[in-house]
A and B are shown apart, each in its own frame.
Chain A
């Protein structure tokens, strides 16, 4: 069964450094998402991406964040200058057309030191 894959599974980074989280969505999906889950809290929406542009973003998704689909298969989330409060589990999701559900990867655990 096709699945969303995310790399790395765990990323440890010094505060202020840039980090790129990578995702390979399911191949025929058209809509892509990033969510995050701080330990013990709800899964929170960050951004949605369709047709090579951001279609919606949350208040969390400020100028430090960016997304890209560089080559038609990968979908990346970049955090330019990481802060301690960026420590969380980051999930990528994708879905097909219409009302199909979103399918999630197993996440990248980001630890900021």
Chain B
């Protein structure tokens, strides 16, 4: 069964304190791994797509990496505005684009 697990569930950082979020997955043929940001009361906002092991994507203070079993979202020198829930989702090959989500990591960055 396709499955996504994210850790930790919650993370508190001081402003400027770098860290990483983990997304472990099991899927029958990975078509893509997606990172989304979700603010309270809002829908998921697209951040990155990763397609194959070894791939990396960067955007401002965020960097996503992918191996055959997991993905990391590295946050460098975070700011309070980076506080949000970060969702990881996978799309298996051969299906219709259905995304399977992890439960998310809620990040709080304190000034």
A binding-site residues for B, Cβ under 8 Å: 4, 6, 31, 33, 35, 41-45, 48, 50, 55-56, 58, 91, 93, 95, 99, 101-107
Asked if A107 contacts B43 (CB within 8 A), the reply is: yes
Which chain A residue has the least Cβ–Cβ distance from B34?
A101
B binding-site residues for A, Cβ under 8 Å: 31-32, 34, 36, 41-46, 49, 51, 87, 89, 95-104
Q: Report the 7 A-B pairs with minimum CB-CB distance, sorted nearest first.
A: A104-B43, A55-B96, A43-B101, A56-B96, A48-B96, A106-B43, A104-B44
Asked if A43 contacts B32 (CB within 8 A), the reply is: no
On whether A42 and B96 interact (CB within 8 A), knowing A91-B44, A99-B31, the answer reads: no
Asked if B101 contacts A42 (CB within 8 A), the reply is: yes
Q: In whole angstroms, how far apart are the Cα atoms of A39 and B39 in the complex?
A: 14
Asked if A102 contacts B97 (CB within 8 A), the reply is: yes
Q: In whole angstroms, how far apart are the Cα atoms of A43 and B104 in the complex?
A: 9
CB distance from B7 to the nearest CB of A (A): 14
Asked if B96 contacts A50 (CB within 8 A), the reply is: yes
Which chain A residue has the least Cβ–Cβ distance from B43?
A104
Asked if B41 contacts A31 (CB within 8 A), the reply is: no
Q: In whole angstroms, how far apart are the Cα atoms of A93 and B89 in the complex?
A: 14
A-B contact pairs, 16 of them (CB 8 A): A6-B43, A31-B96, A33-B97, A35-B99, A42-B102, A42-B103, A43-B99, A44-B101, A48-B96, A50-B96, A91-B44, A101-B49, A102-B46, A102-B99, A106-B41, A106-B42
CB distance from B60 to the nearest CB of A (A): 17
Which chain B residue has the least Cβ–Cβ distance from A37?
B101
On whether A48 and B31 interact (CB within 8 A), knowing A91-B43, A91-B44, the answer reads: no
Q: In whole angstroms, how far apart are the Cα atoms of A33 and B97 in the complex?
A: 9
Asked if A99 contacts B32 (CB within 8 A), the reply is: yes
